[in-house]
Structure 1
Amino acid sequence: MASASASLFKSSIVLDKSEWVKGQTLRQSSVAAVRCNPAAPSSLTIRAGSYANELVKTAKTIASPGRGILAMDESNATCGKSLASIGLENTEVNRPAWRTLLVTVPSLGEYISGAILFEETLYQSTTDGRKIVDVLIE
């Protein structure tokens, strides 16, 4: 599957015959694939091979009702624009401080189910020395 669109999330995913398996019983050792059908109200079909259980668990976590995804995938230049809007320079000290502010919001996990990170963020630590990724997992 080359790409997904917003309409995919507004519609249901349907089950094909033969090699497709419905629900969490995912047995095929192939690439994940989906097909959209707005007429089917609640079916889900995935072909994911050896990562099936992990994929289902991740999908359920991300799709938690009432929670969203924190988009922290700002490039350094874009992060600099956010910093400039509050009168700060785009430096290697200020970017982690900005990201620390985002990930240390009290009860953040009640409101987000996942985060999209910029590559630099994967290796950054918060201002108190914890890895940003670890703070998000907590």
Structure 2
Amino acid sequence: MSESLQDIARRLVVPHKGILAADESSGTIKKRFDTINLTSTVESRRDYREMLFSAKKAMHDHISGVILFDETIRQSAKDGTPLVKLIEDAGSIPGIKVDAGAIPMVGFPGETITEGLDGLGKRLAEYRGLGARFAKWRAAIAISKVLPTAGATYANAHALARYAALCQSEGIVPIVEPEVLMDGVEATHDIERCQAVTQEVLRVVFEELVRLRVDLTGMILKPNMVVPGKDSGQVVSAQEIAERTVAVFHASVPTTVPGIAFLSGGQSDEEATANLSAINQIKGLPWPITFSFGRALQAAAIQAWGGKAENVAAGQRAFLHRCEMNGLATVGEWTDAKEKQAA
């Protein structure tokens, strides 16, 4: 008997594990490869993902699921093993990014709307046949003194809800990702502004999810943490970030949601880990709270690998380290001392 949406959702947010976002678009992965002077080709992208997915201890112990790009879910390792099978053999769940990216929203300067709903039902059916058991759709919410507008917030929330409903109709768990951007239009907003905007965005998102009859027990929320804008100059502690973030969740996220998996959203590797750990030190959380990191899990690994076959083991060690540190953070046990001791 196949797993229910609720079973899959719960497996994605178990303690000590989180979700690897390996769904970089061709343009994004090229930028990552540029930092190591590696040409982005079908083969180099395959080799990089294979390095991560074949890191057995990291994957088995700390990665509950992997979000894939369309190209990646169809690829096989050098020995012919489908990359999806590598993920499944490690005990992780394959997932797929299904949005088509954010474009400028007509009539709303500085704001975007995410595309990809046309034909999504058919694509989801195909992805399920390729092994995907969950999906992801990202809405990018610009923030400033006057943004986001109610119109852009509603439009993106509505698209997220339509996507989520389509996913569930195909037996796929939707990851709902409304990201209030840390590096928004001006990136000078303070943490108080981020808190207010994040709370309102999540309120509207859940209002639309309920309106479109999405089963909240069969989804995962992927939000931003409540942090100041990148250029705000405001310095805040991990504890304050944790308290403000959890306050937003208590105000906006129904307790029936099976779990919350954070994006890193421009934070450094250690910042994202430290903040996640501080959040999980707060007592009485009604949701499992974990990570769904991309760059914050991969940055050290890609540098250690450098695009060279002889460095695969080094890349996997770097990946394991970040996975271990974030695994500790899912239970509130990460410390700076453990970070340095394990490095």
Q: Which has the higher helix share?
A: 2
Specify the alignment match of 1:123 in structure 2. Answer: 74
1: CA distance between counterparts of 2:41 and 2:26? 9
Note the 1:11-26 alignment, pairs <5 A: none
Alpha carbons 1:96, 1:126 under 8 Å: kept: yes
1:56 aligns with 2:11: no
SS in 1 for 2:56: coil
Structure 2 length as normaliser, TM-score?
A: 0.24
Partner of 2:85: 134
In 1, the alpha carbon distance for the partners of 2:35 and 2:75 equals 22
Distance (Å, rounded) in 2 between the aligned partners of 1:76 and 1:127: 20
Aligned to 1:87: 37
CA distance in 2, matches of 1:90, 1:120: 13
Aligned to 2:315: none
Q: Which of 86, 101, 105 is the matching residue for 2:51?
A: 101
Q: 1:125 corresponds to which letter in structure 2? A: S
Quote how far apart the aligned CAs of 1:137 are: 0.3
2:22 is aligned with 1:72: yes
Are the counterparts in 2 of residues 75 and 118 from structure 1 also a CA contact under 8 Å?
yes
Structure 1: where are the runs of 5+ without partners?
1-50
Any runs of at least 4 consecutive aligned residues in structure 1 with deviations exceeding 2 A, and if so which? none
* 1:109 partner amino acid: H
1:128 and 1:76 map into 2 onto residues whose CA distance is 23
**Equivalence for 1:4:** none
Distance (whole Å) between structure 2 residues aligned to residue 130 and residue 55 of structure 1: 27
Letter in 2 for 1:62: L
Instruction: Indicate the residue corresponding to 1:31 in structure 2.
Output: none
Deviation at 1:84, TM superposition (A): 1.7
Within 2, Cα distance between the matches of 1:89 and 1:76? 12
Q: What are structure 2's unaligned runs of at least 5 residues?
A: 90-343
Letter in 2 for 1:121: T
- What is the distance in 2 between the residues matched to 1:60 and 1:134? 21
Q: Give the secondary structure class of the aligned counterpart of 1:93.
A: helix
Distance in 2 (alpha carbons) for counterparts of 1:118 and 1:79: 11
Per the alignment, residue 34 of structure 1 pairs with none
Deviation at 1:126, TM superposition (A): 1.4
Number of equivalent positions? 87
Partners of 1:85 and 1:111 in 2: CA distance:
26
The answer to whether the 8 A contact 1:83-1:98 is kept is no
